[in-house]
Amino acid sequence: SQTIHQWPATLVQPVGSPLSLECTVEGTSNPNLYWYRQAAGRGLQLLFYSVGIGQISSEVPQNLSASRPQDRQFILSSKKLLLSDSGFYLCAWSVLGQGAQSHTEAFFGQGTRLTVV
């Protein structure tokens, strides 16, 4: 069966420090991978998505970057964290459905709650 691992669950980092959040998927090949951020009481903001190794699309210009070094590994990074980077970060994966434009369900990791102090 397919599973998604995201770590760490919580993280407290000082302003200006680097960040690396890792997400790995098991049990599927060539998934679409996503990074989202959710501020307290707000909706999900899509940060990055990837349809293949080395292919990263950024939705929002910001202090963050993403990489996909392997088919089932997605990494979210920052060189210098800002206070505004605090939030709940979620990794997700999905695969295309059988229909021409359909999408199977997306599966989410447990999330990382990042607090920048």
Residues that bind another protein (CB under 8 A): 32, 34, 36, 42-44, 46, 49, 51, 57, 59, 88, 90, 92, 94, 96-97, 99-103, 105-111, 113
CB of 70 vs another protein, minimal distance in Å: 20
| Other Cβ atoms closer than 10 A to 6 | 22
Question: Is residue 5 a contact partner of residue 70, using CB atoms and an 8 Å limit?
Answer: no
CB of 90 vs another protein, minimal distance in Å: 5
Give me the amino acid identity at 37. R
CB of 101 vs another protein, minimal distance in Å: 3
CB of 46 vs another protein, minimal distance in Å: 5
Q: What does the block give as tokens for 117?
A: 């102090």
Q: Judged by CB, which is closer to another protein: 14, or 98?
A: 98
Helix-then-strand count for the chain, H and E: 0, 11
Q: Judged by CB, which is closer to another protein: 29, or 101?
A: 101
Query: What is the biggest distance separating any 2 CA atoms in the chain, rounded to whole angstroms?
Result: 46
